[in-house]
A and B are shown apart, each in its own frame.
Chain A
């Protein structure tokens, strides 16, 4: 069996006000996985991400990245290899031009300037925002800001990329564009974790789903397993993806043959109906 790229053992995290946010989280993450992290508001997803990245230090528990336990000394290595795209782009953009913003991470890695410039150009190209590299971030729209923050992480060449509710503030076209970027990153073998409230997206995109509830992972499995388990969905304040619900309805009313081949998207559903 292949070794996990990131292994979390029994993480506990308590906020300054005594509120426990993570309550014994253990999970193994393998290279190239596409993981959706779902759960209600305040269930510990964001805290979990900041712990993985080493911004928050867990009260108890271990983070093992590629076989080495993360401690204060090699923290920077961990952050270099795990990038977070934050939910609110305005909380992430710090520099006063797009180019300087994308270069912020690579500059902090103390790379030589030529290398930084090369990476910035590549990342801008990747996100298709080369046109406004000299613009200040406060003259960009929400979708453009999001692309800038993603470019900033791509320029760091992290192995694991975490997206904290990326689709939350995007219009459908921008959300579609984001999914295209995610597909592109998958082809490059990046490991991705995405927290989302959009169950349809999680069901369609993810290969593995982690369900958070009150600081614990209450379920870990394929999207199909998770979304068929009504008990877990109820416990975590979630609902079934629409496509799945409709499929089950049709099967129940004997309009469709119960082949257990759940469609992932409307296109797949259409094909199934045309058969």
Chain B
């Protein structure tokens, strides 16, 4: 895991997406613009169902994330590796079929049955992979350049119910606190041989889990006191920053979308 200047990385791989978002060079772009752009591209990818469109989207999103956002290629690929594995596993079963007799354009005898596939089927699968991959890279562009808190602001602006938005805010903040608490408890258990064998490990894990619940409740109480002390009266309101959308960004986004639709029109 490479270190990135500025912010120190404390947590495991699971949190790196949030971490990359804070370091992205296109973070200062207007969050609403980024979210709506990537969602629009996502919808276009699915609705147009065109391999050329998918390829263009994959390349553009990689360009935005890697060149504009200054994320290293290795890290981008390692983040995409997880969905790629799932896509390959999922589409593999679509591509193949089983039969007692040799059939299809390509088949493989396994001893008791044949695995077969055909060119058309393979084509369908490749197109499907491209489509899903394009959709995912559009969303990755958003998550790798927009911190969760800003995505939550966008949801609030989109009139998602207040309860959900407030919960998202609190949960987001809380995940990190619970992670810290858990790490501390785990380390202290470890130092007292709490994980010496399997049985003890299970017991320790259970104790930590129940202890976490108690601590969460306690923390919730102190949190509430701290919020009340600062005039909290039922509405959780945070300062939202206005980031200007530059005209050039809107124009390029619009041009890109028109280009995709034209591409679809010509290659249909």
- Which residues on A are within 8 Å of B, measured CB to CB? 50, 53, 55, 76, 79-80, 83-84, 86, 88, 90-97, 99-100, 103-105, 107-109, 113, 116-117, 120, 134-139, 152-153, 156
Residues of B within 8 A of A134 (CB): 22
Q: Is the interface of A mostly helix, strand, loop or mixed?
A: helix
A94, B7: Cβ atoms under 8 Å?
no
Write the nearest CB–CB distance from A144 to chain B, whole angstroms: 11
**Chain A residues in 8 Å Cβ range of B246:** none
B229 in contact with A55 (CB, 8 Å): yes
B219 engages A107 (CB within 8 Å): no
Q: Name B226's closest neighbour in chain A (CB-CB).
A: A92
- Residues of chain A contacted by B226 (CB below 8 angstroms): 84, 86, 91-92, 94
| Partner of B173 from A94, A103, A120, A152 at Cβ < 8 Å | A94
Give Cα distance in the complex from A144 to B202, angstroms: 37
Q: Is the CB of B231 within 8 A of A138?
A: no
Contact between B232 and A108 (Cβ–Cβ < 8 Å)? yes
Provide 9 A-B residue pairs closer than 8 Å at the C-beta atoms, listed in order of the A residue: A50-B225, A55-B229, A79-B228, A79-B231, A90-B177, A96-B173, A105-B230, A105-B231, A108-B233
Report B14 CB to chain A, min CB distance, Å: 13
Stretch at the interface among B90-98, B110-118, B119-127, B237-245: B237-245
Please tell me if the beta carbons of A108 and B239 are within 8 angstroms of each other in the complex: no
Per DSSP, chain B at the interface is: helix
Contact of A95 among B10, B225, B238 (CB under 8 A): B238
In the complex the two chains form, what is the Cα distance from A138 to B241 in whole Å? 20
Q: Is the CB of A139 within 8 A of B219?
A: no
> How many pairs, one residue from A and one from B, have CB atoms within 8 Å of each other in the complex?
98
Give A93 to B22 CA distance when docked, in angstroms.
18
Bound complex: CA A79 to CA B170 (Å):
23
Chain B residues positioned under 8 Å from A94 (CB to CB): 170, 173, 223, 226-227
A100 and B149 contacting across the interface, CB-CB below 8 Å: yes
CB distance A104 to B238 under 8 Å? yes
The CA of A156 and the CA of B232, in the complex, are separated in Å by 13
Given A90-B180, A94-B173, A96-B173: A139 in contact with B238 (beta carbons within 8 A):
no
CB within 8 A of A107: which of B18, B169, B223, B238?
Answer: B238
Docked pose: A84 CA to B229 CA in angstroms:
7
